[in-house]
A = this chain, B = another copy of it.
Amino acid sequence: MTRDIPLRPLDAAAFAPFGEVLEVSGPPDLLINQDLCGRHHDRARLDQQGGRLGISLFDATPRALPYELAMVERHPLGSQAFLPMHQNPWLVIVASDEAGRPGTPIAFRAAPGQGINFARGTWHGVLTPLAAPGLFAVVDRIAPAGEAKSANLEEVWFDTPWSIVEP
């Protein structure tokens, strides 16, 4: 059995079971600033239990294809949005949940102008830029002081890694 997972373009409909693609698509919900700016309003389903929302910056090392996917993780207490601060390609890897374990991963390549918000509890790969700078703004749950890291992080390591490959 092959462990290859071919990349597919990131697409709102295909990603819908896992969260939202944050992108300009269709006409804006409203025009602001003397019609010089389109506002595409409230596109992420932010969802936190305990803690509060915050904005952090992630600065990640670029990876290359084929990419060896050894693990996925999920955050049971909150959604997590990745917003690229560049127009470089990056990987969005998710898996459905099968009785508390991740199913076969799905790998998307994000196009310029696409961010994502993972729904709370979604199995996903770590942030994986394909070029430098691997800089992202991240909107996620800020834990209360003293909370154990494990409260909002569950990791699964695969017995055999998957290989994310060009389609």
Q: Does A58 contact B (CB under 8 A)?
A: yes
B-side contacts of A23, CB under 8 Å = 57
Q: What total of chain A residues lie within 8 Å of the partner, measured CB to CB? A: 45
Copies in the complex: 2
A55 touches B61 (CB 8 A): no
A59-108: which residues lie under 8 A (CB-CB) from chain B? Answer: 59-61, 81, 83-87
- Interface 1/0 per residue, A111-127 and B, CB below 8 Å: 01101010000000011
A55 touches B42 (CB 8 A): yes
Q: Give 30 A-B contacts (CB < 8 Å), ordered by A residue.
A: A24-B135, A28-B59, A33-B60, A33-B127, A36-B60, A36-B61, A37-B58, A37-B59, A37-B60, A37-B127, A37-B134, A38-B58, A38-B60, A39-B57, A40-B56, A40-B59, A41-B56, A41-B142, A42-B54, A43-B55, A43-B56, A44-B54, A46-B55, A85-B85, A85-B86, A85-B112, A86-B86, A86-B112, A113-B133, A139-B139
Chain A residues within 8 Å of B, Cβ to Cβ: 22-24, 28, 32-33, 36-44, 46, 52-61, 81, 83-87, 112-113, 115, 117, 126-127, 133-135, 137-139, 142
